[in-house]
Structure 1
């Protein structure tokens, strides 16, 4: 699944490719992608004549801001956007086509067909699903050390599933949680509330550093991810633990281990990330 760095890369690419373009019509080949409204005809009617003013992001969701509508799009496992000349043959698994007045098209392809699209009036999207319960933006001004520490305080949940919970912090998926925890030297099974101040500070900085470096590298192309121009991300070449089971840790030389935490495959170095069993703080 594309995580924050990949979605941010797609956002930046789409702003280069479609910002300022006006939608002439929309063709929907797979109506179940549409969640609000669910009717393809109404979806098309609302978007006709609207110009894309900006492409923004909230967590792992794209927010395509138009004249009087906001399109919230979730790529899920395999969703991707691309811009093509009108008339070019459709590739397999192309489910939604936005026809622009300049003779180009924005096409949404999704092999797994899990992606979703919602339309809202501006501002309404933050009050309703799927954006209404999202947590802190780890690359936003709201993500301060104090706000992060407050989220952790008293939590008995293991730190990895805590960080994966989008109601606490958004956009940090499996890859980047493993990488941030390794950079901070924290075992993925530590209780979130057991972290001492120095550990919390290290993890806070590790999250920002990991995600920022991943964004600059264009994300990670672990499976099929590419940006809106068909380009792969390059951060997978910088991964320290994720996907490196049985390989040597770059930091200490110990063997990278893989286990399951919170139902997710988890990579870590037992030497660099020792497990300390402590109860959550009460302060």
Structure 2
């Protein structure tokens, strides 16, 4: 699933190609992708609207219209957006196409078809997409050690599960949770209630740094994004823990270990991130 850095770099690549353009037509090729309202209503409501901004909240993307309406999108597992000329070959699994006034097409492509669009009309409360339930952004001033400690210090669940909980902090997924905890020297299986203030301070300080690093590594132009059909990201050589099970730790050389937390694979260094109650390797 795309995490905050992937969603943000997608926003940065697409936004200049669509802002200020009018939606001439919307074609929905897979009806279930439009979660709210009905696809026909969704298309008619957007006809003639001009896109004024493209935003991001956690893993959600938003398109603001001059009408005051907002299109909300969650990419889920394999969703992607492409800004393409009308004569550019259409990707397989293209489910929604917004035709814009300058000839550009904003295309939603999703091989597994789990992504969803919602239309929030002007003045309407969003109680349907789930975006209102998100915790603070990692870059927000409210995301502090004090906030984390106060909200999680009595929780017995593993700290990695806390970071994956979108109501605690928005945008972190499996990859960056591993990277944050590696940088902080905290075992992902550690119960949140066992963490000390210095641990919460490390998480609060390192989270925006590591996410920004991910954004910088993955940043690309709209043309690069289109030519790679949105799939070719920069090499992820900067990853220190995620996906490196069995490989030597970049700090100490100890083999990275893999465990499963909440049904998800987790990688960590048993020396740099000692398991609670187990001697360092």
Instruction: State the TM-score, normalizing by the size of structure 2.
Output: 0.91
Q: Which runs of 5+ in 2 are unaligned?
A: none
2:218–2:234 CA contact under 8 A, matched in 1: yes
Which residue does 1:281 correspond to in 2?
none
Aligned pairs (5 A) from 1:135-214: 135-214=135-214
Aligned match of 2:58:
59
In the alignment, the residues of structure 1 paired with residue 191 and residue 114 of structure 2 have an alpha-carbon distance, to the nearest angstrom, of: 32
Q: Is the 8 A contact 1:136 1:170 kept in 2?
A: yes
Residue range with higher mean Cα deviation, 201-210 or 40-49 = 201-210
- Partner Cα separation in structure 1 for residue 154 and residue 226 of structure 2: 42
Residue number in structure 2 paired with 1:5: 5
Residues 250 and 125 of structure 1, relative CA distance in 2, 3 Å threshold: farther
Deviation, structure 1 residue 56: 0.6
Residues in 1 aligned to 2:45 and 2:218: alpha-carbon distance in whole angstroms = 33
Distance 2:194 2:227 in 1: 44
Q: Is this contact kept in 2: 1:29–1:94, CA < 8 A?
A: yes
How many angstroms apart in 2 are the aligned matches of 1:186 and 1:72? 35
Q: Deviations over 1:26-59 (max 9, x none)?
A: 001001000011x221111000011111111110
Provide Cα deviations, 1:258-279, integer angstroms capped at 9, x if missing partner.
Answer: 11011100000000001225xx
Which SS does the other structure have where 2:14 is aligned? Answer: helix
Aligned CA-pair RMSD: 1.9
1:8-40 per-position Cα deviation (integer Å, ceiling 9, x unaligned) = 111111212111111011001001000011x22
Question: Residue 49 of structure 2: SS of its match in structure 1?
Answer: coil
- The question of whether the paired residues in 1 share the 8 Å contact of 2:84 and 2:107 is answered with yes
Q: Report if the CA contact (8 A) 2:84-2:226 is conserved.
A: no
CA gap of 1:199–1:178, structure 2 versus 1, over 3 A, is: same
Name the structure 2 match of 1:50. 49
Aligned position for 1:272: 272
Unaligned runs of 5+ in 1: 220-225, 278-283
1:80 pairs with 2:80: yes
TM-score by length of 1: 0.90
Alignment deviations for residues 118-161 of structure 1 (CA, whole Å, 9 cap, x no partner): 00024645444321211111122321232222222211111011
3-state SS of paired residue (2:237): helix
1:229 and 1:65 map into 2 onto residues whose CA distance is 26
Query: Distance in 2 between the 1:153 and 1:122 partners?
Result: 39
Determine whether 1:41 maps to 2:40. Answer: yes
Question: Aligned partners of 1:89, 1:198: CA distance in 2, in Å?
Answer: 53
Name whichever of 28-37 and 6-15 sits farther off: 6-15
1:130 aligns with 2:160: no
Distance 1:56 1:275, change over 3 A: same
Determine the C-alpha separation between the residues in 2 that align with 1:191 and 1:59.
24
Q: Is the 8 A contact 1:184 1:199 kept in 2?
A: yes
The answer to whether the Cα contact below 8 Å between 1:25 and 1:44 also exists between their aligned partners in 2 is yes
**Corresponding residue number in structure 2 for 1:260:** 260
How far apart, CA to CA, are the structure 2 residues paired with 1:36 and 1:258? 40
**1:81–1:227 CA contact under 8 A, matched in 2:** no
